[in-house]
Structure 1
């Protein structure tokens, strides 16, 4: 059996840029993307907790409530729920996500997607983020598969390059409408057709 490794944001979760900056700018209109991502990049590898991330940006008061208000703006690509059971008949499934530990756990629990995966790797848990090849190697170890047995799906081309460097086959989930010379799909239906047809 081969393995399929999926990215989270821009693939399973809608809106590849996320609603984070608009959410923050409602309270702090002068904060730029660089201001926000200075702290987010630290939280993304577990150097800041999710509540400390909001605190660093200037939020005060009930930070748990503020965080939940943001996370509840995040939507899932509902076609995943048709795709995943179908693909599990043919592939081991893994999730590989750059995300804050707390956010990933909340969203995975909320949308009840944990049980679809044989392995889950989140940057905030392991202190490494894509495109560092070490996070891909960790995922391979969890799966017990070699890179050549894996197909990696992401909406970011530089993450696909990292996976390819290890010998993985790759597919761009093109939710950003970018130019790409390799294998590309626009949705989970196309991905299912590609993966099952090619088995």
Structure 2
């Protein structure tokens, strides 16, 4: 662990408490008759950077200026331990983001949560036009960080994403919020984000005693 320089976080399911952007964020707001099966191909194409956001909304029968666009991301909240954990870790490591998300949606979350104040680099699949678990997105993280995979730890709530990260030499941490059927065994498994400090224990302060920021932003 002494050679680690960067800790990369997945967004939905790690930084953000809910890992189901479509199921729990978007679907409850869509008009009756629009199914998840109908949404998924457009969602995958948009988050992979293959179509524009306007094409995504048009594909599911809505317009880019639909009020749903500005509503669905607002149902998500940051993990309660995130501010304290990132505060402690930032004293010893660089912190980054590696997430499957549409480029514009990433910008909307940045406006709300100010991720850039704590995380750099931030690799968003829609912006780099590839997504986990495609190897190219892990290579993008390595290029942006300027360090080899052996110097990176990656936290994700899906083991299939961690399996590919391991091929690049990354230390893998599974944030297990729900059962995962993938057979890959990560280096570490956590059930709360605060447990990360038990892995990276370079004289970190007790995270539960650290102040939380106001308005959901990261201090």
TM (norm. structure 2) is: 0.82
The alpha carbon displacement at 1:53 in A equals 1.4
The equivalent residue for 1:165 is 167
* 2:12–2:19 CA contact under 8 A, matched in 1: yes
Flag the 1:187–1:55 CA change in 2: closer, same or farther, 3 A.
same
Query: Higher helix proportion, which one?
Result: 1
For 2:33 and 2:24, how far apart are their aligned partners in 1?
Answer: 11
* 1:100–1:124 CA contact under 8 A, matched in 2: yes
Structure 1 gaps, min length 5? none
The equivalent residue for 2:207 is none
For 1:50 and 1:176, how far apart are their aligned partners in 2?
Answer: 29
Flag the 1:55–1:19 CA change in 2: closer, same or farther, 3 A.
same
For 1:115 and 1:144, how far apart are their aligned partners in 2?
Answer: 19
The equivalent residue for 1:78 is 80
Secondary structure in 2 matching 1:103: helix
> Over aligned residues, Cα RMSD in angstroms?
2.3
Secondary structure in 2 matching 1:196: coil
Structure 2 gaps, min length 5? 205-219
For 2:121 and 2:25, how far apart are their aligned partners in 1?
Answer: 32
Q: Does 1:193 align with 2:198?
A: yes
For 1:60 and 1:148, how far apart are their aligned partners in 2?
Answer: 44
For 1:147 and 1:27, how far apart are their aligned partners in 2?
Answer: 40
* 1:154 alignment partner, one of 153, 156, 172: 156
Deviations 1:131-162 (A, max 9, x none): 11111111111111111111111001100000
* 2:29–2:72 CA contact under 8 A, matched in 1: no
The alpha carbon displacement at 1:17 in A equals 1.4
The alpha carbon displacement at 1:52 in A equals 2.8
Secondary structure in 1 matching 2:50: coil
For 1:141 and 1:81, how far apart are their aligned partners in 2?
Answer: 26
Secondary structure in 2 matching 1:72: helix
The equivalent residue for 1:68 is 70
Q: Does 1:139 align with 2:144?
A: no
The equivalent residue for 1:10 is 13
The equivalent residue for 1:45 is 48
The alpha carbon displacement at 1:166 in A equals 1.1
For 2:203 and 2:164, how far apart are their aligned partners in 1?
Answer: 23
TM (norm. structure 1) is: 0.89
